[in-house]
Structure 1
Amino acid sequence: MAQITQEELPNGLPLYRVGLPGTRSTTILVAFDAGARTERTEENGAAHFLEHLVFKGGELFDDYRKVNETAERMGAMLNAYTSHDLVAFHITCRAERTMEALDLLTDFVGRPRIDAEELDRERGVVIQEINRSFDQPSTVAEYLIDRTAFGEHPLGRPVLGPEDHLRTFTRDAIVGFRERRWSGRRGGAFIVGNVEHVPVGPHDSGSGAVGELLGRFPDLPAPEGYDPAPTLKTERAVEQRDTNQSHLRMMYAPQVDVGDVRQRAALAIYSTLLGGSMGSRLFDEIREQRGLCYSVWSIDHSFADAPVLQLGAGLDSSKCIEAYTRMREIVAELHDDGPTEDEVARAQAYAAGRRVLAFENTNAVARYAATQRIVFDEDIDPDAAIAALDAVTFDEVREVAAAIDPQRLAVACVGPHEAGEFA
């Protein structure tokens, strides 16, 4: 059983210790409600660019070499990610090096230099990252389905942002975004795994060594809210490319309350039986029985205020429309007739087992905890997440299937097609 404690530090940053008995590593993760959906229109790309820039150094570890080499000397894995939901920085190390790792992470993330010269140099690196993404048709398909489903809303914009924004971002603009969004009151620090080497301050007040290091993050006012997710658009979009391979994406809006843990768990099981495993309906029929593709899948995701169900396939262009038609029919059949009890039982066991295996990794638990706390303001206990999947009933999964309107979907495709083919 996970052993969890919580306290709020003087700068407003909540600190969670999640002890996982039997582990030999520790992950430290600090995250903020400062993902791409919190950007203003002219800021698109700023959240991700800022993630890059803080790695250039802080006050003590004041350049990128010191940051990288210090992490390597302690045998630690250091990384970060920016999504529409969050920006997060994390380091995983041997448990006995935890305080050294915390010193490193809080220095360059909590008090970054954001040097103007480094900003100009990194600007070119991120532009290359953007250009590379457009050379990958599968990534372009992801951009296209988001824009098709959400339009000009921040959820419809790519996390990386457009090249022209990267060329014009100033240091003041990037620092301004950080000061507006990186508030501890919409963030969290998570120390997960073997926490035997993490001292606790007097009366668990955060005044000990851990609290002092996390005190490097400034005390900032709570940020403003962000635009609510829009109603999913039922449009079709194609980026034509003269290739033999097509990349198909389909997005539905399940009628699920994202504030209900049980309903999100039922959606996860539905997505698993639809296209989340080798025993799923999509994989069995589209790939195995019909041989229409190598890759076909479904995945569910819940933003703070909207759930989405996405289907995808990479396949020979000559088979794309047949696959698309049959994938839509499978969603409709589940809507009309519901799943079988056997496939729900298999999907439930697979989804819960997959989560158990994922939670053997302290980093996965830390990322889960950050999403639970910052996006949903819910319990971060990993055992509760597994229990939620185990507790879902057949009727609850059937209700999710019935609540997905098979006629209301957005469709995007990269390949030699016309939008009208996906009517």
Structure 2
Amino acid sequence: MPQTISSTLRNGLPVHRIGLEGTRAITILVAFDAGARTERPEENGMAHFLEHLVFKGGEKYPHYRDVNETAERLGAVLNAFTSHDLVAFHVTARAEKAMEALDLLSDFAGRPILDAEELDRERGVVIQEIQRYKDQPASVAADLIDTAAFGEHPLGRTVLGPEEHLRTFTRDGIVAFRERQWSGSRGGAYLVGNVDHLDDGAVAELLERFPTLPAPPSYDPAPALRPEILVEERDSNQSHLRMQYQPKIDVKNPAERAALKIYSTLLGGSMGSRLFDEIREQRGLCYSVWAVDHAYADTPILQLGSGLESGKCVEAYTRMREIVDELRTDGPTEEEVERARAYASGRLVLSFENSGAVARTAAYQSIVFGEPIDPDAVIRAIDDVTFDDVVTVARDVADTLAVACVGPHSADEF
């Protein structure tokens, strides 16, 4: 069982030290409740843009070359991500380099220069990133289903934002967003893995480079799912289909989130799942078909997807929807639940061999859901799910869904 020691710094930032036995690596992750969900309409894309900009340098490492070359000299892997939920920066290094890695991360993320010239240069880079996504039908479908399900709510907007926003963002606006959202009280620092080489006093000093900021305003509550159908017509042989439901679970309840995980696994999360077996193996309608669950801070989603020959898209859509209906009315079998539970828990255990996966899970537990940090509790929640728990989830997936598709189709086909 990982040992977690938590404290709070003078700037309000919680620090969680999570020791894992049997590893020679450490991951240091700093995250804030400052993802795309927290943006105002005119700011859409700013959280992700800011994530890019801080890598351009801080006070001690003032140039992007200083940041990149220092990481390489440490033999460290440096990265970040922005989702609707969070923005996070992380570095994984050999344990002996822990303090040097923290020095680097806390400098550029905690006190970034945000140089105006670099801002203009990076603006073009992110616009190219947006254009690249537009060239990928699967990425377009992923964004389109969010819009179909949530409309103009922040959860319905893209994380990257529209190109026109990137052209208008100013340094003052970006700094204002950071000062509004990057509050220690809505964030956390996670030091996960081999923690034997950490100096607690120096850890606090380095992490207090993040400024003391007031608590951010609360985000807009998630709306009910909209049963909208959105199609981006493209003259192509392949179609990319997305279907989204809103399961009836309490996302603040780890046991209910675990039950949804097992349901999505038996539905379309493995090669033994119903969707994979019937849509791909028996009917040969596609190469890729899947189901995945996700829990935002206040709403769950269940998403089904497939990439397939356009002529088979409507048939696949119809049968995928029927399979959800059958699980609602007839329920899964006990054997399906047992197999899905074993598969889901096994994948989780294997992922937790990676210190970065543990750090990311800890960030979601504490920041998104306000729960105590305990990676083993996530595994136990999966193991403890009963057959009846999964039957309840299946029964409560209402026959209301949003649909998105990229391909040679019209909305009335669905």
Q: Identity over aligned residues, as a percent?
A: 72
Q: In the alignment, residue 414 of structure 1 is paired with which amino acid?
A: V
- Give unmatched runs, 5+ long, in structure 1: 201-207
Task: Kindly provide the CA deviation profile for residues 314-334 of structure 1, in whole angstroms up to 9, marking residues without a partner as x.
Answer: 000000000000000000000
Does 1:317 pair with 2:310?
yes
1:50 — aligned with what?
A: 50
1:295 — aligned with what?
A: 288
Task: Kindly provide the CA deviation profile for residues 150-199 of structure 1, in whole angstroms up to 9, marking residues without a partner as x.
Answer: 00000000000000000010000000000000000000000000000012
1:205 — aligned with what?
A: none
For residues 288 and 378 of structure 1, what CA distance do their matches in structure 2 show?
A: 40
For residues 382 and 85 of structure 2, what CA distance do their matches in structure 1 show?
A: 23
**TM superposition score normalised by structure 2:** 1.00
Give the alignment of 1:200-279 within 5 angstroms.
200=200, 208-279=201-272
Q: In the alignment, residue 419 of structure 1 is paired with which amino acid?
A: A
CA apart distance, 1:381? 1.1
2:384 — aligned with what?
A: 391
2:274 — aligned with what?
A: 281
Give the alignment of 1:156-175 within 5 angstroms.
156-175=156-175
Task: Kindly provide the CA deviation profile for residues 329-370 of structure 1, in whole angstroms up to 9, marking residues without a partner as x.
Answer: 000000001000000000000000000000000000001111
1:410 — aligned with what?
A: 402
Does 1:21 pair with 2:21?
yes
1:183 — aligned with what?
A: 183
Q: What SS does the aligned partner of 1:57 have?
A: coil
For residues 338 and 199 of structure 1, what CA distance do their matches in structure 2 show?
A: 53
Q: What SS does the aligned partner of 1:229 have?
A: coil
Q: In the alignment, residue 409 of structure 2 is paired with which amino acid?
A: H
For residues 380 and 361 of structure 1, what CA distance do their matches in structure 2 show?
A: 16
Task: Kindly provide the CA deviation profile for residues 241-263 of structure 1, in whole angstroms up to 9, marking residues without a partner as x.
Answer: 00000000000000000011000
1:94 — aligned with what?
A: 94
2:331 — aligned with what?
A: 338
For residues 187 and 99 of structure 1, what CA distance do their matches in structure 2 show?
A: 20
Runs of 4+ displaced beyond 3 Å: none
Q: What SS does the aligned partner of 1:88 have?
A: strand
Q: What SS does the aligned partner of 2:249 have?
A: coil
For residues 244 and 274 of structure 1, what CA distance do their matches in structure 2 show?
A: 27
For residues 225 and 358 of structure 1, what CA distance do their matches in structure 2 show?
A: 32
1:139 — aligned with what?
A: 139
Task: Kindly provide the CA deviation profile for residues 383-414 of structure 1, in whole angstroms up to 9, marking residues without a partner as x.
Answer: 11111100110000110000101x20000000
Task: Kindly provide the CA deviation profile for residues 86-106 of structure 1, in whole angstroms up to 9, marking residues without a partner as x.
Answer: 000000000000000000000
CA apart distance, 1:379? 2.2
CA apart distance, 1:115? 0.1
For residues 193 and 335 of structure 2, what CA distance do their matches in structure 1 show?
A: 36
For residues 192 and 57 of structure 1, what CA distance do their matches in structure 2 show?
A: 24
For residues 41 and 391 of structure 1, what CA distance do their matches in structure 2 show?
A: 41
Which residue of 357, 360, 364 corresponds with 2:357?
364
- Give unmatched runs, 5+ long, in structure 2: none
Q: In the alignment, residue 195 of structure 2 is paired with which amino acid?
A: V
For residues 37 and 91 of structure 2, what CA distance do their matches in structure 1 show?
A: 25
For residues 239 and 56 of structure 1, what CA distance do their matches in structure 2 show?
A: 36
For residues 223 and 41 of structure 1, what CA distance do their matches in structure 2 show?
A: 17
Which residue of 346, 358, 377 corresponds with 1:353?
346
For residues 44 and 257 of structure 1, what CA distance do their matches in structure 2 show?
A: 28
For residues 188 and 174 of structure 1, what CA distance do their matches in structure 2 show?
A: 21
1:198 — aligned with what?
A: 198
For residues 155 and 99 of structure 2, what CA distance do their matches in structure 1 show?
A: 37
For residues 347 and 409 of structure 1, what CA distance do their matches in structure 2 show?
A: 24
Task: Kindly provide the CA deviation profile for residues 265-296 of structure 1, in whole angstroms up to 9, marking residues without a partner as x.
Answer: 00000000000000000000000000000000
Q: What SS does the aligned partner of 2:78 have?
A: strand
For residues 375 and 3 of structure 1, what CA distance do their matches in structure 2 show?
A: 21
2:2 — aligned with what?
A: 2
Backbone CA RMSD of aligned residues: 0.4
Q: In the alignment, residue 267 of structure 1 is paired with which amino acid?
A: L
Q: In the alignment, residue 120 of structure 2 is paired with which amino acid?
A: D
For residues 162 and 282 of structure 2, what CA distance do their matches in structure 1 show?
A: 41
For residues 397 and 339 of structure 2, what CA distance do their matches in structure 1 show?
A: 21
Q: In the alignment, residue 121 of structure 2 is paired with which amino acid?
A: R
Q: In the alignment, residue 337 of structure 2 is paired with which amino acid?
A: V
381-390 or 26-35, which deviates more: 381-390
Q: In the alignment, residue 144 of structure 1 is paired with which amino acid?
A: L
Give the alignment of 1:105-120 within 5 angstroms.
105-120=105-120
2:41 — aligned with what?
A: 41
For residues 170 and 4 of structure 2, what CA distance do their matches in structure 1 show?
A: 41
Q: In the alignment, residue 241 of structure 1 is paired with which amino acid?
A: R
1:67 — aligned with what?
A: 67
Does 1:307 pair with 2:314?
no
For residues 196 and 381 of structure 1, what CA distance do their matches in structure 2 show?
A: 20
2:151 — aligned with what?
A: 151
For residues 146 and 23 of structure 2, what CA distance do their matches in structure 1 show?
A: 38
1:204 — aligned with what?
A: none
Q: In the alignment, residue 166 of structure 2 is paired with which amino acid?
A: L
Q: In the alignment, residue 162 of structure 2 is paired with which amino acid?
A: P
CA apart distance, 1:380? 1.8
Q: What SS does the aligned partner of 2:214 have?
A: coil
**TM superposition score normalised by structure 1:** 0.98
